[in-house]
Amino acid sequence: MPPRDLRPTIFTMPKIDLHRHLEGSLRLFTLAEIAHEHGVDLPSMSPEELRPYVQFVDDEAPDFLNFLSKFRLLRRFYSSREAVERIAYEAVVDAANDNIKYLELRFNPVALAMNQGFNFEDVADWVVMATQKAQEDYNIQVRLIVQIGRHEPQYARQLAEIAVDRQAGGIVGLDLAGDEIHYPITNFIDVFQWAKKQGLHVTIHAAEAGPPGNIKDAIEKLGAERIGHGVRAREDIAIMDLLNRKQVTLEICPTSNLQTGIIPKLGQHPLLAFYRLGIPVTVNTDDPSISNITLTDEFLVATVNVGVPFRDLCKMVIFAAQAAFLPEAEKAALVDWFRTALKKYVPDLP
Q: DSSP letters along 32-94, please?
A: HHHHHHHT---S-SSHHHHHHHHS--TTSPP-HHHHHHHHHHHGGG--SHHHHHHHHHHHHHH
Taking a C-beta distance cutoff of 8 angstroms, is the pair 198, 191 a contact?
no
- pLDDT of amino acid 306: 97
The predicted structure's pLDDT at residue 33 = 84
Contact indicator for 14, 338 with CB cutoff of 8 Å: yes
Residue 127 pLDDT greater than 70, yes or no: yes
Instruction: Please give the average per-residue pLDDT across 163-174, as a whole number.
Output: 98
Judge whether residue 143 has pLDDT over 90.
yes
Whole-number pLDDT of residue 44: 63
Q: Degrees (nearest 5) of the Cα angle 68, 69, 73?
A: 125
Q: What pLDDT is attached to residue 316?
A: 98
Residue 93: is its pLDDT beyond 70?
Answer: yes
What is the pTM for the complete model shown? 0.95
User: Which is nearest to 180 in space by CA: 228, 144, 145, 220?
Assistant: 228
Answer whether 18's CB lies under 8 Å from 284's CB: yes
- Range with the poorest average pLDDT among 62-71, 123-132, 158-167, 214-223: 62-71
The DSSP call for residue 109 is: H
pLDDT of residue 43: 64
Average pLDDT over residues 136-143: 97
**What's the confidence (pLDDT) of residue 58?**
72
Give me the mean pLDDT over the 92-96 stretch.
Answer: 98
In order of start, what are the domains of the chain with their CATH numbers?
A: 3-342 (3.20.20.140)
E-assigned strand segments in the chain: 15-21, 100-107, 141-149, 171-177, 201-206, 226-229, 249-252, 281-283
Catalytic residue among 23, 104, 208, 251: 208
Q: CA–CA separation, 298 vs 241, rounded Å? A: 26
Residue 26 has φ and ψ, to the nearest 5°, of: -95, 135
Q: 5 or 307: whose pLDDT is higher?
A: 307
Mean pLDDT value across residues 304-331: 97
Note whether 329 and 2 are within 8 A (CB).
no
Q: Which of 22-26, 129-133, 279-283 shows the lowest per-residue confidence on average (mean pLDDT)? A: 22-26
Residue 55 has pLDDT above 80, yes or no: no
The reported pLDDT for the residue numbered 4 is 59
Q: Which residues contact 168 (CB under 8 A, 6 or more apart)?
A: none
DSSP letters spanning 216-252: HHHHHHH--SEEEE-GGGGG-HHHHHHHHHHTPEEEE
Residues facing 149 on adjacent strands: 177
Task: Please give the span between the terminal C-alpha atoms of the chain, in angstroms, as a whole number.
Answer: 19
Whether 2 shows a pLDDT value over 70: the answer reads no
Q: In this structure, what are the phi and psi dihedrals at residue 230, rounded to the nearest 5 degrees?
A: 70, 20
* Residue-averaged pLDDT of the chain: 93
Cβ contacts of 142 within 8 Å, gap of 6 or more: 92, 95, 102, 103, 104, 105, 131, 132, 134, 135, 170
Question: In a 3-state reduction of DSSP, which class is residue 330?
Answer: helix
Spatial separation of the C-alpha atoms in residues 84 and 23, rounded to whole Å: 10
Rounded mean pLDDT, 270-275:
98
Q: Tell me, yes or no, if 208 is annotated catalytic.
A: yes
Examine the pLDDT at 1 and tell me if it is beyond 50: no
**What pLDDT does 65 receive?**
73
Q: How confident is the model at residue 30 (pLDDT cuts 50, 70, 90)?
A: confident
pLDDT confidence of 233, banded at 50, 70, 90?
very high
Q: What percent of the chain has pLDDT over 90?
A: 80
Q: How many CB atoms are closer than 10 A to CB 183?
A: 17
95 CB burial (10 A radius; 0-12, 13-18, 19+):
buried
Q: What is the spatial distance between Cα 337 and Cα 132, in angstroms, rounded to a whole number?
A: 21
Predicted pLDDT of residue 186 = 95
